[in-house]
Structures are given as structure tokens and as C-alpha cells.
Amino acid sequence: MPAEHLADAGRCGACKAGLPPSAAPIEVDSPAFREITGGARVPVLVDFWAGWCAPCRLTAPEVEKVAREMAGRALVLKVDTEKEPALASQYGVASIPNFLVLRGGLILRQQPGAVPAEAMRSWLEAAGA
């Protein structure tokens, strides 16, 4: 599905079944990150994380909760800093978890540290979700 339609409900081209908007965090590499953050018509929450990071693992259910609650109004991306260190460096990620809120490719907020779903939701709502 094209990046600009990830937050939209749609239909499968083959079977015509209804497709809901993305309601789960999307794990991305650098090319997908650029495509989605540049093309999304809704705010994007980005979770920079790593598998070895205990606070990242504790925050993961909160990130998933936000993705479900904001489906159709925002997108949630996950960037593994072990696999994408250049992307993490580009955004000045010095500690993880680290969250970005982007709209139209522009950074609206950056927040290091574990936070509850309510905080993430409020950031996305402030960004227009």
C-alpha cells in the first residue's frame, strides 16, 4: 500500500475485501522510513528502539496501544537502532527508547525515555491526529 494511504481504509485489489487502516507499529528500514514520513497525510510517531534495551521492551506494549487507538488518524513506525544506526544518528538519537513525532517530514517533537501511551497519544493529537 502506498505511504499516503497507510492510514486509510481500502479494498484489496484482488478479492475486494475491506482493508482497515494500519493499526500496528510498522517496522521500517531507511528507505521505508523516508517514503512513509515523506508521504503520510497524518502525523507519524517513530519509536527508535533495540532488542537489548529493557526500557524499550517495557514501552513496546504502550507503542502498540497507541497504534491501535490512533489507527486512521496517525501512523506508528519502529526503527531498530541496531539495524539502522545511520537513521538514528541522523535524528540525534543518543539514548533509547527515543520518540519522534513528524508531520510532512518535519519534526514536531522528540522525546527520549520511556513514556506511557497517554503521552504519545497527546503528542499525536497536538500534531493534528
According to DSSP, the residues that pair with 112 across neighbouring strands are 98
Q: What is the DSSP string of 15-79?
A: T--EEPPP-S-EE--HHHHHHHHHH-SS-EEEEEE-TT-HHHHHHHHHHHHHHHHTTTT-EEEEE
Q: Is residue 15 part of a domain?
A: no
Sign of the torsion angle spanned by Cα atoms 28, 116, 56, 81 = positive
* pLDDT level of residue 13 (50, 70, 90 thresholds): confident
> By the 8 A CB rule, do 26 and 39 touch?
no
Which tens digit of pLDDT belongs to each residue from 67-120?
999 999 999 999 999 999 999 999 999 999 999 999 988 999 999 999 999 999
> By the 8 A CB rule, do 80 and 25 touch?
no
Q: Is residue 41 part of a domain?
A: yes
Does residue 56 carry a catalytic annotation?
A: yes
Which tens digit of pLDDT belongs to each residue from 21-58?
778 999 999 999 999 999 889 999 999 999 999 999 99
Domain that holds residue 75: 3-9+22-126
Q: Is residue 82 part of a domain?
A: yes
Q: Is residue 120 part of a domain?
A: yes
Catalytic choice (36, 42, 46, 56): 56
In the prediction, which pLDDT does 86 show?
97
Q: Is residue 17 part of a domain?
A: no
Q: Which CATH number fits the domain that encloses residue 112?
A: 3.40.30.10
Q: Is residue 16 part of a domain?
A: no
Catalytic choice (28, 45, 53, 102): 53
Tell me the C-alpha distance between 78 and 101, whole Å.
12
Task: Give how many domains the chain has, as a whole number.
Answer: 1
* pLDDT level of residue 7 (50, 70, 90 thresholds): low
* pLDDT level of residue 1 (50, 70, 90 thresholds): low
Does residue 53 carry a catalytic annotation?
A: yes
